[in-house]
Amino acid sequence: MDAGLAALLGTAVGSLGTLGAAVVNGRAQARTQHVQWRRQHRRDAYAAYLSVLHDRDIAMDAILSVLRGPSLDLPELDGTVQHFIARARDVHRAAEVVILEGPPSIVEAIDRIAKESSGLSEVMQRMVKDAHAGDTGERAQHSATAAAQERRLYQAVSEFRVQARGVLGNAD
């Protein structure tokens, strides 16, 4: 084989090797970018969910504050209840995005928060109903139940944070 043909074959093999390496590197970079993009979407969804949970919890605290106060202002109570309902709807919308982003461990954490939130909402509804009826007979018991339910809800939210950190790779 003459030197010109050998040089040509060497150049062709070198070019194919370079092209192959570029393809492999390009695919690896695309995978890395996709993982980073997915992580960012999940992070944004989790942060938005935690934000609306916080807003809803503030609205919930406002209801409980009015109910536990020394004098009951029913129009104020009704206003805080309406504000809470709006924030609860925000939580449901944000939860749907988190559920879509997955994974199953996050969905389980969301379900636990929803269960504990529902339990607290039921207690608050009984408290509001009693307040409108002027019935204070079970006020202390409802307050104690609400406090216990708030602790369970806080624990569920804490567990969601741990799951979210794990999914995002921030488990340290």
Q: What is the C-alpha separation between 141 and 69, in angstroms, rounded?
A: 15
pLDDT for the residue 102:
80
Residues 8/130, Cβ–Cβ less than 8 Å: no
CATH node for 3-168: 1.20.1420
Rg of the chain over all Cα atoms, to the nearest angstrom:
28
Q: What is the largest CA-CA distance in the chain?
A: 106
Instruction: Look at residues 165, 158, 136, 142 and name the one whose alpha carbon lies nearest to residue 70.
Output: 136
Element (DSSP H or E) covering residue 18: helix 3-68
Rounded CA separation 44/48 (Å) = 6
| Structural domain boundaries in the chain | 3-168
Give the pLDDT mean for 66-95: 92
User: Token pair of 30, please?
Assistant: 């695309």
* DSSP class of 135: -
Which of 66-70, 119-123, 147-151, 160-164 has the lowest average pLDDT? 66-70
pLDDT above 80: residue 27: no
In the block, tokens 């340290």 appear at 172
Q: Is the pLDDT assigned to residue 142 strictly greater than 80?
A: yes
Q: Do 149 and 115 touch, CB atoms closer than 8 A?
A: no
Q: Mean of the pLDDT values across residues 127-132?
A: 90
Q: Return the higher-pLDDT residue of 33 and 41.
A: 41
Mean pLDDT, rounded, for 54-76:
90
Is the pLDDT at 31 greater than 80? The verdict is no
For residues 94 and 52, the answer to whether their CB atoms sit within 8 Å is yes
d(CA 148, CA 125) in angstroms, rounded, equals 16
Helices (H), 69-137: 74-101, 104-133
What's the pLDDT score for residue 26?
67
Question: Does position 170 have pLDDT exceeding 70, yes or no?
Answer: yes
